[in-house]
Amino acid sequence: MPDLTRLAQSPKIALMSDTQKTRIEAVLAYFNSLENRSIQISEQLCFDPQRAWDRHCTLVNRLSFEVQRVGWQMSGGHLYLWGAEMQYGFFSGHLVAFEQQENGAELIEHLSDALWRKTRINNRMGLLPAPSRDE
Amino acid sequence: MGAYTQVMAFDLERYRESELPDLRAALAKWDLLEACQKLDLDLGVKHHGLSTLSEIQADRQGGCNATDCEARERCPFHRRSQAPLRSEHFMRVFQAKAKAHWLESPAPVNLGKDFQFYTLAWWYGNELGLEYTDAERAFLAAQDRLPLLLARLCKRAAIWGWADGGYGEGCLGWLSAEEALQLAEDLAAYDLSGDAPLPADLQDDDVRQVTLPAMRACLAQLRDFAQVCGSQQLGLFLERH
């Protein structure tokens, strides 16, 4: 399992603020708890989160898979949940919020000037509703 | 989301007959058709070789970054254009027109999480006993047809294929029926079976034990699917979810 000590060797992560490192550490702990568990992931994209996620939300994707292991790409600071045939990943430098919830977690990334992605991970499948434009 | 890659049968001829006139008319309406240097007659990436395709990157505001195009300020596919919502709209329209000619039969094949342009480049080099950057260099310098076909499949739609979050997802590219048969023929030159010997020069255990066998299995599926589709006068389309 990856831990922050090892990930800190990544130049991208080493340069991050303590706040960001703490956030990534929390994600890592959560990701590590998902190994060998089935998860459901859904994502929303948004051009303007100040106007709330119910507006300018463009696409919603969902997938389910069993996490085989947590992975990372040291050079780029990317973190992954690897399944047999699917994966979910994000660049740690994009992460602006992480909140662990009772049956899952929510991550928000700032992908570019005007693009945010909110990802919900449900580790007790079926309990969290998938996001919709009306939420 | 960049989660996995799927290849579908693509009726390129019907796309050409049914959709291209409308799409070209839309570009002409914006006075873009004559000026465009980046799109070919099928509205794929215009290219004369592998390098053009390997360098192009899909982007939310379009995959074009031509510096000398007189239409770049108003083109929805140029990154300098100042209308991201129009870019998104145009890209959705183009993608929908292409998707309308993806077929359910032969059934799409899931090529898994690892099937991406860079991992294909690594695979090509791995078969030569090379790893990582050396493998990529070998792929980009190759003189045979296979890398070009793989690049077309992974990049031909890059001008308008961007999907969402920037993790490699979207409508990636396509091959014609003739190219699908060429791909099947070129892949048939490789031993992609589970017990195929590993190149002696490969040092990295992860490559030897995981990456290369996994890519061989994916490419064996792609080879067989390409043969079936090409034999039915159908092309291929690659999408990453």
* Half-sphere CA count of B237, side-chain side, radius 13 A: 30
What average pLDDT does this structure show over A53-71?
A: 76
pLDDT score for A56: 55
* Minimum distance, in Å, between the CA of residue A88 and any CA atom of chain B: 6
Q: What is the DSSP string of chain B?
A: ----EEEEEE-HHHHHHHTHHHHHHHHHHTT-TTT-SSB-TTSSB--SSHHHHHH----TT-SB--SS-TTTTT-TTBTT-S-HHHHHHHHHHHHHHHHTTEESSSPPEEEETT-SHHHHHHHHHHTTT--HHHHHHHHHT--SSHHHHHHHHHHTTTTT-B-SSSSS-EEEEEE-HHHHHHHHHHHTTS--STTPPPPTT---HHIIIIIHHHHHHHHHHHHHHHHHHHHTT-EEEEEE-
Hey, is the C-beta of A87 within 8 angstroms of any chain B C-beta?
A: yes
Enumerate the residues of chain B whose CB falls inside 8 A of the CB of residue A117: 164-165
Hey, is the C-beta of B210 within 8 angstroms of any chain A C-beta?
A: no
pLDDT score for A41: 92
* Residue B157 predicted with pLDDT over 60: yes
Its pTM stands at: 0.89
Whether A63 and B241 lie within 8 Å, measured CB to CB: yes
Q: Which residue has the tokens 């690594």?
A: B122
User: Which among B2, B85, B164 is the nearest to A89, CB-wise?
Assistant: B2
pLDDT score for B222: 98
Smallest CA-to-CA distance from A123 within A97, A93, A94, A88 is with A88
Share of chain B above pLDDT 70, in %: 98
Hey, is the C-beta of B86 within 8 angstroms of any chain A C-beta?
A: no
pLDDT digits (tens, 9 = 90+) for B74-109: 899 998 787 666 788 889 899 999 999 999 999 999
What's chain B's average pLDDT? 93
pLDDT digits (tens, 9 = 90+) for B173-205: 999 999 999 999 999 999 999 999 999 999 999
List the structure tokens of B175: 């091959």
CA nearest to A61 within chain B: B1
What average pLDDT does this structure show over B149-164?
A: 93
* Residue pair B168/B196 in contact by the 8 Å Cβ criterion: no
At residue A72 the predicted structure's pLDDT band, cuts being 50, 70 and 90, is: confident
* Minimum distance, in Å, between the CA of residue B143 and any CA atom of chain A: 30
pLDDT score for B110: 96
pLDDT digits (tens, 9 = 90+) for B205-217: 989 998 999 999 9
What average pLDDT does this structure show over A71-94?
A: 87
| Measured distance CA(B112)–CA(B218) in Å, rounded | 8
pLDDT score for B8: 98
| Measured distance CA(A12)–CA(A131) in Å, rounded | 31
pLDDT score for A74: 67
Enumerate the residues of chain A whose CB falls inside 8 A of the CB of residue B165: 43, 45, 109, 111, 115, 117
- CA-to-CA separations, B107 to B8, B9, B103, in angstroms, rounded: 7, 8, 8
What average pLDDT does this structure show over A5-31?
A: 83
pLDDT score for B79: 86
List the structure tokens of B140: 């980009």
**Range with the lowest mean pLDDT among A57-61, B25-29, B132-136, B223-227?**
A57-61
pLDDT score for A135: 43
pLDDT score for A128: 47
* Residue A126 predicted with pLDDT over 70: no
What's chain A's average pLDDT? 81
